[in-house]
Each structure stands twice: as C-alpha cells, then as structure tokens.
Amino acid sequence: MIDDILDRMTLEEQVSLLSGADFWTTAPIERLGVPKIKVTDGPNGARGAGSLVAGVNAACFPVAIALGATWNPALVERMGVALAGQAKSKGASVLLAPTVNIHRSGLNGRNFECYSEDPVLTAALAVAYIQGVQGQGIAATIKHFAGNESEIERQTMSSDIGERALREIYLPPFEQAVKKAGVMAVMSSYNRLNGTYTSEHPWLLTKVLREEWGFDGIVMSDWFGSHSTAASVNAGLDLEMPGPTRDRGEKLVAAVRSGDVKPEIVREAARRILALIERVGAFEKAPDLSEHALDLPDDRALIRQLGAEGAVLLKNDGILPLAKAGLGHVAVIGPNAAEARVMGGGSAQIAAHYRISPLEGIRQALSNANSIHHAVGCRNNRLVNVFSGEIRVEYFSGRDLAGPAVVAEAASKGEFFWFDLPSLELDPNDFSARISASYSPAESGEHVFGMTNAGLARLYVDGELVVNGYDGWTRGDNYFGTANVEQRQSVHLEAGQRYQVVVEYCSSATSEEGINLTAVRFGVEKPLGEDAMLDAVERAENADVVLLFVGRDGEWDTEGLDLPDMRLPGRQEELIERVAAVNANVIVVLQTGGPVEMPWLDKVRAVLQMWYPGQELGHAVADVLFGDVEPGGRLPQTFPKRLSDNSAMTGDPHVYPGKDGHVRYDEGVFVGYRHHDAHGIEPLFPFGFGLGYTHFSWGEAKASSTKMEADGMTITVDVTNIGDKSGSELVQLYVRPLASTIERPEKELRAFAKLRLEPGETGTASLVVRPRDLSYFDDATKTFRAAAGRYELLAAANAADIRSVVTIELANDWTGELSDRSI
C-alpha cells in the first residue's frame, strides 16, 4: 500500500509529509487518503494540543527521576500502558517521550525529566516505558538525541563528547530503545554534537541510528530545532516540527530540482512517515483528533503506587514510620506543605485532573482527633506568585489593541501560553491582548508585582504603569529562553481595597533566531518576612513531631534554564535550622528534581525524598510517612556532599556550563558514581542508596559458570526479609575488570533486580551478564572489546555497599560489532 501511495504522489506531496501541518499534527494528503496524526507531550502525562498551562485535563504521573528511583521496569511499563490511554484521550497517535539524557551534573534544568546518571538503569526503564506505550498502538518518541545534558544555550551549544563516552554512557539508552523496544520515533536535540547540529548530523542520524542499529522509524526535530533544508534531509531528519514549514516545502522542492537533495532521499523519508501512520493504525481508521479528559480510578491508584515506589528514604533514626494512633500535635511546615508541587516545568507540564498537597494528604490520613498545625515559614518560588482570580482577556488583530476585539474569553490564572489562539482571525505573529482583572489584598503593605513575557507587555495598576516588559525588552531565562527575565516592582496596597490590574500584550515581530513563542505570566504577592519564620518556629516548638516540606518547584526544575547551585532556594536552610533548634523530632520531606546539599542533615531525624510524584503527591507521601506502604525508592543519581564534588564541576567553564559555544565533556566515561570511585570522593548518599522499614539478609552471590559463555551467564543472590514488615530490596550487579590496559571505571552497573518480600520470605535475584557487559568501547577499532582475563561481579545494595563478589574468567578476547542486535 505504501509503495502505491508513494508512486502516486507528486514530489510536492512527498515533501509536504516532511514537515508538520501545524504545531501538533502531520500534514494530510486527502486525495490519496493519507490522514494527519497528532503528537503530544510528554513524559509524565498526555497534554494534547492545549497550552502548557491550560487545556483539557489529563492524568499527571510522576516525573522521570521519580521513575528512575523506582528501579522497577515492570511498574514503569504499566505506566506506559496508562499513558497510551491518556494519549488516545487527546486524539494523539504519538507520545513525545521518554527523555533519556544522562544526569551529567546536578544542575541540569531537565534533570527531573530524565531517569538516571547510569545508562543501564536508564535503558531498562526506557525500554519498559516504550513497550508499554507502543503495545497499545501509540508510538513513543525517545529524546533528545543526543548530548542534551544542560539547558544553557541549548539551541546553539556544541556538546563536545568523545566517541567512547558517547558509546558507553550517552547512546546506550537510545540503542536499546531501538534494538529491544523497536521505538517508532526519535527526536533530535537542539544542541550541536561535536560542532554539528544533531538535526543535520549524518553520523548520528544515518550511520549510527539507521545503519548500525537498524532503526526503521522516523526522526523528527525538536520544536523549531532544525536549521537547514538540504543538510537536515540528507542527514536523515524525516520530519521538521512544528508546522507550517520553515525550511522545507518549496525550499526542499527547489533543492531536489537543483540536485542538492536526491529525490530518492525524499521518497524514503516520506515512506517512513507513511509507515508510522500505518503502524499507529491511522490508515485503517482516521484518528479522531478531538480531546477529552480521562480520569480513571486505575490511573489514580497507579500514580499513588508509583509515588511511594519512587520515594527514597535517605535518613531515618527510627522515627519513621509514624504511628497514627496516639500521635498528638503535628506541625506541617514549609513552602511545599500546602502547595502541591506535582511536576516539573517546561514542555512536560500538563493540566492535572487535580493536585493533592502534602497538607491535604496528611489531614485525610489523620482524620481522627490529631491536631495539625500549618505554617509556611518562607517561600521558595523563583517567580512572583502567579495571579489567581477572575480574568477577562480581549484579543485584537494587529499589535496595537486597536479596533473592536475579535474575541474575548474568561480565565482564572494570570499565565497565558498561546500555541493556538481562540480565533482563526488572529495571526499568532500579529495580535494583541488586553488582560483585565481586579485584586484585593488581604493585608496592607508592600506587594510585589512581577511579569515575564515572550512578546511585549506592560502591566498597569489603577491605570499607572507598574511593570514595563516593553521598553528595552531582551530575551531572558523564561519560556525556553523566549521571554525576558521577570520584571518586578513594589507597590503599597491597602487591605480590602480593590485595584484594577491590566496587562497589555502584543506579539513580537517574527524572528529567524531560535524558538518564537507568545506568552505572558504576571503575578502579585506580599513578601513573607520574619513574622512568617517566627510563626513556623513557634508552631514547631509546640508540636510532638514536625513534618517539614522543603525543596523546589517547576519554576526552578524546568526546561530552558539550569539551576544556579545545589542549595535549597530562599530561606529554607535557615527554616530547617531554626525549626530543628526548637524541636528534636523533625522529619524533612524533600521535593527536588535532583540532589541538594544538606548542611542541616545531622540536625533532623529523617529525610524523605519525594521528587515530583504526580497528582497523588499528598496521598503518596502520607502513605509512606505513616507506614501504609514502604518507601520503595533507591537513588538513581549520586547525591554529592557539595556541588564541587560533581564530575562536571571542575572550575573550567569549558567543561561546565560551556564557553564560546562549546561544552566539553572532559570527564569522559567518569560520570556519577564512576567519578566518585575514580577520585575517592565520598558522596553524601551513593548511587542506588535508599532505606526501608524492614531488614534483609543476603546470601552469597552464585554464578552459573566460572567462565563467561558466548550467550552470557546468570548470577543469583538469595535475599530474606528478616524484619516484621513487608518491603523491597534492590540487588545491583556491577562489573569490575581486574586488569586493563586502558583507564576504566572501578565498577559499572550491568544488571539489577528488585525483590518484594513478606516477613520471613526468601526470594532470589537472577541477574544475567553477557560478554558485552565486560567490555569497553575501543576508539581505535570502533568496536566494543573485552580483554581475556579475570573479572569480578559485585552484588551490591548500592554503589558503596558491596555484599559479595564472584570472580569469573573470559577465556578469549571478545569483540562486539556495533550492528549486533543481541544486546
């Protein structure tokens, strides 16, 4: 069928398939019965075609680092199945996920959106996720291919990575997604790789991906992430997104006519687009692109289970789990207590069905006579609190708010991210909007108004210009680098008085530079001062136990910018210190997208890392704190004691954050725990670490053979739950070469198994290793090689806790070809 369609297509029609029709759909060819299909973000939910901050509600699942902390591929596969159903509810045939870039540093803004610092763990979870999604007829899109480990200047930065590091650390998740999961789509990254944009990188897209790995799906650009006509098509980029086209269409037809692009290259790219449409069943039944909310009890339960499974108990002196019976005064304190921080920022955002805050979850769990007191203490928001209330938005043609409004609508939140405008009469590149609301403060005093805008905007209070986001506008760090740095201004307001707040917005002129978006966000807040801190300390002093919720939110952990440091923002460290000084029973619950420094660690009794676990946050955290379920997570990323202990933080700006358009991955393969091992740096918490509510005894590791066989060997470890509660234990298997002529990590994760055991129950972890697991990538021969000799297989509870060792022998040198499909 596909050949017949291709034969009947004109060149122009073939070319039309190679760019999106609009922001979210591919181009149809109606005369040949080729339908359009819709794609949707993202990794922790299916948003549909709505705005990043609005649109039809969807189930909000845990972010990827929380999934990484589960070390549970079977559970992640179940999430993939659920996400496929969510994608269908949004009329989508393609899910733009998973994200498998590596945790190179602790500062990457999208650290939360990626699974791990280790390629084996990342690959195992990605394969499971893809199999879950694609088993339901929805295509998965693995991203970002490749070298996108930082958000700084990501649209132009060249990630300069040696081939060995690429082959051993950064490419294996993509490789296994192709070879094991048959992923249907790959998304190229924004950045350059060793000087060449990945969207026009022949070695990456054709030699490695298609010729070596045998990939037969489509390669699409990240949004606005392609930069050329002939170069991108010739390199193997099939689909330019979003539409309408910028570099294809008539430009590509002309490139074919001039001989810059061979017609057979266009035909093969069009074939792959048609094959994708066929694989998702769109030829059999044209997709219904309409959207609806799908709120299922099974999804709710799975999200809650995943939240607890990924929760990592970092410290516990016995205070946890808390007994509900007899629990007296409970202080629930901190900026993340009453706010439901359920997801990170950027393109992973969705409009969640609901958000259960920790305070709400704890109140439901302690619905008896327990006394619960709440205090904020301090703020941790990066941007001024977004405006909330009744809002009217009037839209005008042109940039000067002239003439009658084309359309008007109501809103309830002062944030607008316009993928699609409310009327077809409006031109996204030439419109304006008047956003009107009123604000009545609860307290008198200085209030801060803030605004950030992609486009130009001014904010007025009672007719007076307060925030100027128009004159002198320059790109900053918001909305993926398309908006200015938030502009702020203090105004004295009187309690109970009603103030008129008006934002006048206009789209900016179209630019050829990078991403062009239209968005505005405005807010107002009364800054918290010493009184708020004293209130939190007073409530803590009079409590039997303090649950202190601190961390970050999606304004910090977000696409488009990296973190400034690895400390808790605002006065949160001070809050912990002052609360701990008046109460000996403090439990800190962290919500971050990666590691943080903990100078206060010795002053609290327990620390629980919850990440951003989705819409069931409050229920999941209460389940863990009160022992209804165990904290099942183990760290997918090393938590260093200080930022300078990280492998990328050498002090050389060429290594991080980059300089003169290049960032050098000088650490090579020594990322995460590999770096800590090589330099003898003790981490705060090692890779794979996590506590539970029970205890286990381990038997000695046993190997099926003392010699590595061609098809691999099996290592087994018996584990017994010797405690009085059910729980899970993670068995990790590392490989250590005993002799090597090249520099290699001391040990490398090669397999893992998670066992859930009842009290007194014994289970067996069965772990398979193969010859490639003993190997390294040889730059000289361009092959994976393992030298004959002895290797140790280390059975470990985490990277710093080796329980037993098995020594095996590889009788002969082993060489693995890059096209080997048996990995």
What would the pLDDT profile of 22-64 be if each residue is shown by its tens digit?
999 999 999 999 999 999 998 999 999 877 777 899 999 999 9
Task: List, in order, residues 6 or more apart from 379 with CB less than 8 Å away.
Answer: 335, 525, 527, 528, 570
Report the distance separating Cα 525 and Cα 519, nearest Å. 21
Angstrom CA distances, 744 to 168, 688, 809, stand at 11, 20, 18
Is 461 in contact with 500 (CB distance < 8 Å)?
Answer: yes
pLDDT attached to residue 675: 98
Report the distance separating Cα 559 and Cα 220, nearest Å. 19
Which runs of consecutive H residues, i.e. helices, occur in 614-723? 617-625, 673-679
Q: Which sign, positive or negative, has the C-alpha torsion 66, 70, 75, 80?
A: positive
Residue 506 lies in a domain: yes
Angstrom CA distances, 527 to 94, 341, 379, 383, 430, stand at 43, 20, 8, 12, 36
Q: What CATH number did the domain enclosing 437 receive? A: 2.60.120.260
Task: List, in order, residues 6 or more apart from 475 with CB less than 8 Å away.
Answer: 481, 482, 483, 484
According to the 3-state scheme, what is the secondary structure of 297-350? HHHHHHHHHHHHHCCEEEEECCCCCCCCCCCCEEEEECCCCCCCCCCCCHHHCC
Angstrom CA distances, 100 to 1, 145, 169, stand at 34, 9, 11
Is 379 in contact with 333 (CB distance < 8 Å)?
Answer: no
Residue 382 lies in a domain: no
Residue 714 lies in a domain: yes
Task: List, in order, residues 6 or more apart from 488 with CB less than 8 Å away.
Answer: 384, 448, 449, 450, 467
Domain boundary among 234, 258, 279: 279
Residue 212 lies in a domain: yes
Helix (H, G, I), strand (E, B) or coil at 646: coil
Q: Is 274 in the same domain as 394? A: no
Report the distance separating Cα 273 and Cα 279, nearest Å. 10
CB atoms closer than 10 angstroms to residue 743: 10
pLDDT attached to residue 144: 97
Residue 689 lies in a domain: no
Rounded to the nearest angstrom, the gap between the alpha carbon of residue 304 and the centroid of all alpha carbons in its chain is: 18
Domain boundary among 493, 510, 525: 525
Residue 50 lies in a domain: no
Residue indicated by tokens 């629990």? 327
Domain boundary among 249, 279, 309: 279
Q: Looking at residue 774, what DSSP letter applies?
A: G
Helix (H, G, I), strand (E, B) or coil at 449: strand
Closest by CA position to 727, among listed 610, 619, 628, 632 = 632
pLDDT attached to residue 81: 98
Residue 593 lies in a domain: no
Q: Is 521 in the same domain as 392? A: yes
Closest by CA position to 625, among listed 543, 554, 546 = 546
Angstrom CA distances, 169 to 122, 148, 273, 298, 400, stand at 10, 13, 30, 36, 52
Residue 498 lies in a domain: yes
Q: What CATH number did the domain enclosing 749 receive? A: 2.60.40.10
pLDDT attached to residue 367: 84
Output the CA angle 214-216-219, nearest 5 degrees: 110
Report the distance separating Cα 348 and Cα 1, nearest Å. 36
> For the chain, how many residues are written?
823
pLDDT tens, residue by residue, 695-742: 999 999 999 999 999 999 999 999 999 999 999 999 999 999 998 999
The dihedrals phi and psi of 603, each to the nearest 5 degrees, come to -100, 0
Q: How many helices (H) and strands (E) does the chain have?
A: 17, 36
Report the distance separating Cα 77 and Cα 93, nearest Å. 18
Helix (H) or strand (E) holding 70: helix 64-70
Rounded to the nearest angstrom, the gap between the alpha carbon of residue 45 and the centroid of all alpha carbons in its chain is: 11
Q: Which mean pLDDT values do the consecutive 10-residue runs of the chain (823 residues) have? A: 95 98 96 97 89 85 98 98 97 98 96 98 98 98 98 96 98 98 98 98 98 98 96 98 96 98 98 98 94 97 98 98 92 98 92 96 88 96 95 96 95 90 90 97 96 96 96 90 94 96 89 73 95 97 97 95 96 98 98 98 98 98 98 98 96 97 98 98 98 98 95 97 97 96 96 98 98 96 96 98 98 88 68
pTM (2 decimals)? 0.96
Q: What CATH number did the domain enclosing 1 receive? A: 3.20.20.300
Q: Is 222 a catalytic residue?
A: yes
CB burial of 465-499 (b: ≥16 within 10 Å; e: otherwise) equals: ebbebbeebeebbbbbbbbbebbeeeeebeeeeeb
Catalytic residue among 41, 160, 222, 247: 222
Domain that holds residue 506: 388-525
Q: How many domains does the chain have?
A: 3
Question: Is residue 35 reached through a cis peptide bond, with omega within 30 degrees of 0 on the bond before it?
Answer: no
